[in-house]
Structure 1
Amino acid sequence: MTIAVSSPVFNEDDQIPRRFTCDGVDVSPPLSFTGLPEQTAALAVLVEDPDAPSGTFTHWVMWGIDPGQSGLGEGEVPTSAAQGTNGFGRRAYGGPCPPRGRSHRYIFEVLALSEPLRLAEGASAVDLRRATAGKVLASGRLIGRYQRH
């Protein structure tokens, strides 16, 4: 099953507005998600850059999102949610910040889970993927791009 993930500020494979990057306010963009399975117990969000020079770079790790939510507002971290540690070493959203000159892809992935995760605050993307094994009912993603000049 596939979750439809979208944003009112950029379309699939379009440029992510500067506001949501390290060159702007560095706040998470608003996201909408539809098509969650009825039995969804919790949601998780992962944002990664697969084009980073040293391998996939994690920009956001968050879980424990109430499945009754149809999205996330700009900069929103729901009170029910916990955040993991991103590649910048922070428990927060860290926007696109690629080396100058080349466009990178940013994958905003939403996971519908069959049960809540028991992860410690600050867990990594690897920890999240390990914890979600066998618990993903559906997933969806939105890919945006960003290039610094």
Structure 2
Amino acid sequence: MELRSSSLADGAPIDRRHAWPDCGGANVSPDLAWTGVPPGTASFAVACYDPDAPRGWWHWTVYDIPAAAAGIPEGGPLPDGAVETRNSFRAAGWGGPCPPAGKPHRYVFTVYALPAAHLPVPAGTDPGEVSRVATARALGAASLTATFRRS
């Protein structure tokens, strides 16, 4: 599988428009597109995680994305049936980067190809648990990592 974005480049800084408002951003979710989907894929899950935060930080987790979807548009609506969890800001949906001043943080975007139309997690499941279940069940996955530094 391959994960691409016209909003993000692997290893490059994230544009400020995607940042959380406290960091001067508009909190616009980036677009993501995937190719090379494994046979048997029935749905997708997407996660964005900051491993550099002291206890890690979940910025976005979406699951039950229908197999017919080839991506998510920038700031756009999710495909019908997709479910967003609360992020570590305790808000539903995308929560853009906003690390403490200092070193840049990495933001790992991952798409998981899943063998079932619905991930077996109850509504309100923690994003870390959603990601753990998706990782354990994935037929395939792809990631890209971008950075953000608070100025």
TM-score by length of 1: 0.91
The question of whether the paired residues in 1 share the 8 Å contact of 2:41 and 2:115 is answered with yes
What percentage of residue pairs aligned between the two structures are identical? 34
Alpha-carbon offset, residue 134 of structure 1: 4.1
Query: For the residues of structure 2 that align with 1:14 and 1:130, how far apart are their CA atoms?
Result: 26
| 1:1-149 correspondence runs (5 A) | 3-22=1-20, 23-52=24-53, 54-76=54-76, 77-115=78-116, 116-132=118-134, 134-149=136-151
TM-score by length of 2: 0.90
Alpha-carbon offset, residue 118 of structure 1: 2.8
Classify 1:142/1:130 alpha carbon distance in 2 versus 1 (closer, same or farther; 3 Å).
closer
Query: For the residues of structure 1 that align with 2:107 and 2:48, how far apart are their CA atoms?
Result: 7
Query: For the residues of structure 2 that align with 1:79 and 1:131, how far apart are their CA atoms?
Result: 21
Count of matched residue pairs: 146
Query: For the residues of structure 2 that align with 1:129 and 1:99, how far apart are their CA atoms?
Result: 24
Amino acid at match of 1:103: P
